[in-house]
Chain A
């Protein structure tokens, strides 16, 4: 009986906590969902299981019911009418934990596919926060939060252990660079950069910190690490606890101010960057006098300004890039890693989908610390595994420690032949530190963004296609008729042409004939994108036309309405076969 009372007390407290969580963003995201279902196919949990309960809108509704009950005016009177409800017992709390912690990595891919702009990760975090306040969360999250509160870092590393590790790394660094003065500076005041890391780099995997130290060394940077407040990660983001968020933010910000650094740079950790650069300024309420950058941005600056030189032949691998959700989707850092990889590996292979549309590593939102849900995590990772497999790369590069672990886990589980590396590690391996010894012998083929010329008389279709192609990393040019298309071709040679067949004026097949009989244009792949109208007897039969004029077959054919995944597949096949031939 006591237990039941206690349970209902916790549920009651969680309900009460919810009432204090509203702000503008939350109200918007709780209020505007129209249940259109656009998010369903964007979620890797749904795609892998096809379970309607894994649809983001369904999951969000488990939290949204509280909003409907307390804040929606109809819901206040007739909660059931609008799906409103309260948390009533331990079962409800358990279900909410399973959904908010165990069925969502807060990767926000669904938000990007939501026409209303609902930030479902924010809703999940709100759900997590009211549970966490009652002590309900996966044990791993509770343990890490405790370590961050008590020791200032998520792995409970003592200051002594931390400093000893840096000393040990200095020895390694001096040996590798053959320079007795190379070091990781500690507590050096007035530096240009104060560098904060993920404790994983100190406790288990220091390769990335060594790589960063080498890059700073090669660039002649004035930088330092701090003996206190050196952890850029923040489990406040995952647990929904803004107080922990502010605590960790304050520790790092204090170190920059104490050392009078000009800027704060976070190492390659996705959520660490997001928490430090975007969330902590709000959680702490501080007016910061220094800017915050991600290490990727700093490296790009070094390469562009010539402060470091890279030789891509030193990484003779086919490398693809996985966009971490907190850097790509939430941080807008998508081109920097690609720029760096194209300069430091012999072959860069894009992954599809990518950038803001990439799939989660499946370890986001703190999922790597929640063993309870590892089985489900690995089941849903089939989506990511297939995506990786298609790249046929030897190495998947990423810029987030958490992604490294998530990807490594699923690569092992699905027996893929791939290694995971951080961008900085590949850049460090490509560094030319002493030109006497290393001369660049091989220049990686510059893989520019491919250019697609789209010819169609319907402007709507052109807009749709160019958005689709741009989102997937292609440059585009549109032409609404024969004249425009030919005029463009005299100025630039596209890598691919998509051609509508039924157009007023000179139709698509005549254009096709002209292209394929012209020496200059005949090698450009062409995809027919056309509507099928059985009622229109005047419609040209393209097969007959091609046969009668002895023309080669087009590289692809797709009917309207366009199935976007299929179209992208054909497009990639056309343009990337060419890239492979170069190598």
Chain B
């Protein structure tokens, strides 16, 4: 299990760079994870998506369907890909500190 370090942040991640202990997530961790996703700055738009993903994950323990993400946050699929170039599963979920989605992703 690799240790990921960014500035003062030290977290354990899996081999795909997803957090091993999602409960350790905080806003600094999000910035650290974003740096691995070619996202230089987390804007208000990013935070809206991140916060929704975290709330959903806390409640249900899994990542939401893309339909829910789009409908609840008001962003289109295209906008989500613009904000998180690796897409909702491997980009947005990672920065939000969710566990790696299962299956063919």
Contacts and interface: CB of A to CB of B under 8 A. Distances in A.
A226 interface: no
B71 A369 contact: no
A369 B102 CA distance: 6
Nearest to B2: A375
Contacts of B67: 161, 164-165, 168-169, 206
B interface, by DSSP: helix, strand, loop or mixed?
Answer: loop
B54 interface: no
Interface string A490-511: 0000000000000000000000
B15 A165 contact: no
A interface, by DSSP: helix, strand, loop or mixed?
Answer: helix
Nearest to A172: B77
B89 A204 contact: yes
A412 interface: yes
Assign chain B's interface to a size class.
Answer: 20 to 34
Interface string A134-146: 0000001001100
B74 interface: no
Given A156-B62, A204-B87, A204-B88, A368 B102 contact: no
A369 B70 CA distance: 25
Interface string B6-45: 0000000011101000000000000000000010000000
Nearest to B102: A143
A29 interface: no
A206 B16 contact: no
A154 B101 CA distance: 11
B3 interface: no
Contact of B104 (A154, A161, A164, A408): A154
A412 B86 contact: yes
A157 interface: yes
A402 B102 contact: no
A144 B105 CA distance: 11
Given A371-B14, A374-B15, A412-B86, A204 B102 contact: no
A405 interface: yes
A184 to B, nearest CB: 13
24 contacts: A140-B103, A147-B103, A154-B102, A155-B101, A165-B66, A198-B104, A200-B104, A202-B65, A204-B66, A204-B88, A204-B89, A205-B89, A206-B66, A233-B103, A233-B104, A269-B104, A368-B104, A369-B103, A371-B15, A371-B16, A371-B18, A375-B15, A408-B87, A409-B90
